[in-house]
Amino acid sequence: MRLVVIGGSAAGMSAAARARRVSPDTEIAVFEKGPYVSTSLCGLPFYISGDVKSWRDLIVYTPEYFREKRNIQVFTEHRVKRILPYKKKIIVEDRNGVEEEIAYDRLVIATGGEPERHFDGENVFYLRRIEDGIRIREFIEKRGPRRAVVVGGGYTGLEVVDALYRRGMKVEVVEMEEVLLPAFDPEIGEDVRRMLENKGIDVILGKRITSLPEGDMVIFTTGISPRNKLAQDAGIETGKSGGIKVDERLQTSHFGIYACGDCAEFRDWVSGKRRIFPLGTVANKTGRACGENAAGGNVKIRGIVWVSVFRVLDMEIGKAGLSLKEAREFGMDAESVMIEGKNLAHFMPDAGKVKVKLVYERGTGRILGGEVWGEGVQRRVDILATAIKTKMNMDELAMLDLSYSPPFSPVWDPVVIAARKGGKK
């Protein structure tokens, strides 16, 4: 049997590696249009900042490793031009422009996401691939730009703002919505805006970019959309989100063709609706499941709880499940509660603040989502993610047993206090 994987980033290489593990005899080939595979794209802001010294550190495994140690054929700089599902073939163009038909028995589509591209120029950058990160850091180190504009106030944009600020640059961030972090409820974006402005970072809201902004460098971190053209051209169904439709086994509308990572849509655990989850964790997880299933396995992904965390300067920000806005957009009868608490025991000298907003279903009290921002965020977001996955309600969350020690958290955790306060209503 021959398994072909299109795309060599986290999802594709997870699929290939997992298929090899469960099926030692399958012939496995990965086609990647760029020069690198198995890259950690979430690490790019930390390469730009200089925390990560070499971009090679962001490459988990090399093509040679896959060939020699895992018996996986990896073809970099090979672009897949078409999928011919009824012939069970793909057409690939190699680095010399030569096209070839490659047969497959099982196919995994892991083409990833695609940034909106607005402008081009020597000082214009996007942030999606490792090559983008290399170009940005080279530009910074060789040209010493002093002013940067980051277009896009989502979490990737803010991680880039953090990186450039820590490099001593004067940074401006431009977001087309009226608030930063539009995937969160507006309180969070407001707090982030205030914090950024206190640091001397300019925040421009509600501005749509129609001409190239002025700055020594401009980095676009606006929306990612699923790279679905190959699939659509082959007649493979995509959903409203633009992501490739898959079933619980991650098989597409075509038998034997699977999809994973940022190019596909998955069932949202909370709302039951299908949406894209452009997260490194989901790429790895769905890639792994795809690889196992393409090799004959039966792993089911019944739904995914959105969980993310990031840091921008002094503030950590995380989210599990849905914001209040999202829950209502999904048609749920949602209510919310917000509190501000301490992240440590009140008497510890370095105790800071943390805010918790919980979103829950009226009547049942079922937790639909949680947003946490301030200090000590990740633990609380993951407690909420686990609670959401197990369909806990607010009363159960209020009674949860959690760890306590003065240098770690207060005796009544803000998550529990929020649940108690919400549960009363």
Which residues are designated catalytic? 42
Choose which of 305, 334, 358, 367 interacts with a second copy (CB under 8 A): 305
CA distance 328 to 334: 6
Q: Does 368 bind a second copy (CB under 8 A)?
A: no
Q: Does 392 bind a second copy (CB under 8 A)?
A: yes
Contacts of 42 (CB under 8 A, 6+ apart): 280
Q: Dihedrals φ, ψ of 148, to 5°?
A: -130, 145
CA distance 37 to 133: 15
- In the complex with a second copy, which residue's Cβ is closer, 119 or 408? 408
Q: Does 57 bind a second copy (CB under 8 A)?
A: yes
Q: What is the DSSP letter of 214?
A: P
Choose which of 381, 394, 418, 419 interacts with a second copy (CB under 8 A): 381
- In the complex with a second copy, which residue's Cβ is closer, 211 or 403? 403
- In the complex with a second copy, which residue's Cβ is closer, 79 or 357? 357
* Joined tokens for residue 164: 């450039």
Choose which of 4, 52, 263, 322 interacts with a second copy (CB under 8 A): 52
Choose which of 309, 324, 334, 359 interacts with a second copy (CB under 8 A): 309
Q: What is the DSSP letter of 389?
A: H
Q: How many residues bind a second copy (CB under 8 A)?
A: 58
CA distance 41 to 132: 10
Q: Does 345 bind a second copy (CB under 8 A)?
A: yes
Choose which of 139, 310, 360, 373 interacts with a second copy (CB under 8 A): 310
Choose which of 295, 385, 394, 418 interacts with a second copy (CB under 8 A): 385
For 199, the 3-state DSSP assignment is: coil
Choose which of 96, 211, 298, 403 interacts with a second copy (CB under 8 A): 403
Helix axes 414-423, 377-389, angle to 10 degrees: 50
Q: Does 424 bind a second copy (CB under 8 A)?
A: no
Q: Nearest Cα to 249, choosing from 283, 297, 284?
A: 297
Choose which of 387, 394, 418, 419 interacts with a second copy (CB under 8 A): 387
Q: Does 276 bind a second copy (CB under 8 A)?
A: no
- In the complex with a second copy, which residue's Cβ is closer, 10 or 359? 10
CA distance 116 to 98: 29
* Joined tokens for residue 268: 């949202």
Q: Does 272 bind a second copy (CB under 8 A)?
A: no
Q: Does 304 bind a second copy (CB under 8 A)?
A: yes
Choose which of 236, 383, 394, 418 interacts with a second copy (CB under 8 A): 383
Q: Does 76 bind a second copy (CB under 8 A)?
A: no
Please report how close the Cβ of residue 248 comes to a second copy at its closest, in angstroms. Answer: 12
Q: Does 195 bind a second copy (CB under 8 A)?
A: no
CA distance 160 to 173: 10
CA distance 372 to 154: 16
Burial track 396-416 (b if 16+ CB lie within 10 A, e otherwise):
bbbeeeeeeeeeebbeebbbb
Q: Does 358 bind a second copy (CB under 8 A)?
A: no
Binding residues for a second copy restricted to 163-192, rule: CB under 8 A: none
Please count the other Cβ atoms lying within 10 Å of the Cβ belonging to residue 276: 22
- In the complex with a second copy, which residue's Cβ is closer, 230 or 283? 283
Signed CA dihedral, 296, 300, 306, 309: sign only: negative
Length of the chain in residues, anyone?
A: 425
Q: Which residues bind a second copy (CB under 8 A)?
A: 10, 40, 42-43, 46, 51-53, 57-58, 60, 269, 279-282, 284-285, 304-311, 316, 318, 320, 345-349, 378-379, 381-383, 385-387, 389-390, 392, 399-409, 411-412
